[in-house]
């Protein structure tokens, strides 16, 4: 399955990069977030591949969900897809946008891939193993290495959202004391913690499950955790929520510690 994820992420990334260089119009969805043809074409590539290979596993994808298309029954396993995470970064011609694909099983992100096509960075996670890889100009994976979280450094390195920071996040970071702050877009924040390049990623802004699932899978495979503010593991497949829409996440902390 992870091999298919890699194939689809690379194909979707190539489609995104073609549009990145050519340029495209930017539209606004009902929630005012931006969307482009790159989001839609990437999602088409990924969904076609997943549905052909695994017709019995439901797919939840960002752009289909925005159009009101979602599986009636998720079952015990389903795919979560964000075809272009960091559309704001893409539109601004920054490099930290990603393709995200994850398998959720019993509410837990079990397998995931995060691919940043502009920089050639690729991260994967499956139970017990997380890897980082580089993708060459030919679109093929050039090298791989195993990654793991590090023991918390002093001072800590904290990753924060580039385009979605909030006063609550700033207050939380201030409460941690001396720290180095790294601002980056998309699910690469999870991957920096997973690769031992940062210690904590606090998120006090709005996210949806497709924003976090793949990066969360990589982090958990690398030995880290993603928890709600109450300390429980972040769960996936949340529907019929009393105070929010389907697949919306609560605030969370992703970090390198496993002693939750």
Q: Tokens standing for 9? A: 């992420």
Residue 241 has pLDDT above 90, yes or no: yes
Residues in the chain: 260
Distance of CA 90 to the CA centre of its chain: 15
Q: Looking at residues 125-144, what average pLDDT do you find? A: 92
Q: Looking at residues 209-214, what average pLDDT do you find? A: 97
171 in Cβ contact with 222 (< 8 Å): no
CA–CA dist 75, 237 (Å, integer): 10
Closest CA relative to residue 218, chosen from 134, 106, 111? 111
The model's confidence at residue 260, banded by pLDDT at 50, 70 and 90, is: very low
The model's confidence at residue 163, banded by pLDDT at 50, 70 and 90, is: low
Residue 38 has pLDDT above 60, yes or no: yes
Is 106 marked within a binding site? no
Grouping H, G, I as helix, E, B as strand and the rest as coil, residue 131 is: strand
Grouping H, G, I as helix, E, B as strand and the rest as coil, residue 227 is: strand
The model's confidence at residue 164, banded by pLDDT at 50, 70 and 90, is: low
Residue 62's contacts (CB-CB under 8 Å, 6 or more residues apart) are: 39, 43, 81, 82, 83, 208, 210
Is 86 marked within a binding site? yes
Task: Name residue 59's beta-bridge partners.
Answer: 79
Residue 257 has pLDDT above 80, yes or no: no
Q: Tokens standing for 187? A: 């699910």
38 in Cβ contact with 12 (< 8 Å): no
Is 49 marked within a binding site? no
The model's confidence at residue 250, banded by pLDDT at 50, 70 and 90, is: very high
Is 62 marked within a binding site? yes
Closest CA relative to residue 51, chosen from 72, 79, 75? 79
Is 63 marked within a binding site? no
Sign of CA dihedral 81, 72, 36, 41: positive
CA–CA dist 122, 38 (Å, integer): 19
Is 192 marked within a binding site? no
With both helix axes pointing from N to C terminus, report the angle between 2-22 and 37-53 in degrees, rounded to the nearest 10: 160
CA–CA dist 235, 88 (Å, integer): 26
Is 6 marked within a binding site? no
Domains along the chain? 2-147 (3.30.540.10), 156-255 (3.40.190.80)
Q: Tokens standing for 175? A: 């409460």
Residue 157 has pLDDT above 60, yes or no: yes
Q: Looking at residues 210-219, what average pLDDT do you find? A: 98
């Amino acid at each position: 399955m992870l091999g298919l994820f890699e194939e689809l992420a690379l194909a979707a990334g190539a489609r995104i990069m073609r549009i990145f260089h050519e340029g495209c119009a930017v539209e606004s969805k009902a929630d005012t977030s931006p969307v482009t043809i790159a989001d839609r074409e990437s999602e088409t590539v990924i969904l076609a591949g997943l549905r052909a290979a695994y017709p019995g596993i439901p797919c939840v994808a960002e752009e289909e969900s925005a159009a009101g298309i979602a599986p009636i029954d998720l079952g015990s396993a389903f795919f979560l897809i964000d075809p272009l995470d960091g559309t704001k970064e893409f539109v601004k011609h920054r490099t930290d946008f990603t393709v995200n694909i994850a398998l959720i099983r019993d509410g837990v992100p079990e397998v995931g891939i995060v691919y940043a096509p502009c920089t050639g960075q690729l991260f994967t996670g499956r139970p017990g193993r997380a890897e980082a890889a580089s993708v060459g100009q030919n679109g093929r994976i050039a090298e791989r290495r195993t990654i793991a979280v590090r023991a918390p450094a002093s001072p800590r390195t904290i990753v924060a959202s580039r385009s979605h920071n909030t006063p609550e996040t700033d207050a939380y970071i201030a409460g941690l004391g001396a720290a180095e702050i790294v601002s980056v877009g998309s699910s690469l924040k999870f991957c920096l913690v997973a690769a031992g390049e940062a210690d904590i990623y606090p998120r006090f802004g709005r996210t949806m499950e497709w924003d976090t699932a793949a990066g969360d899978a990589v982090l958990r495979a690398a030995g880290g955790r993603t928890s709600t503010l109450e300390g429980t593991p972040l769960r996936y497949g949340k529907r019929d929520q009393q105070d929010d829409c389907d697949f919306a996440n609560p605030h969370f902390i992703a970090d390198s510690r496993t002693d939750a």
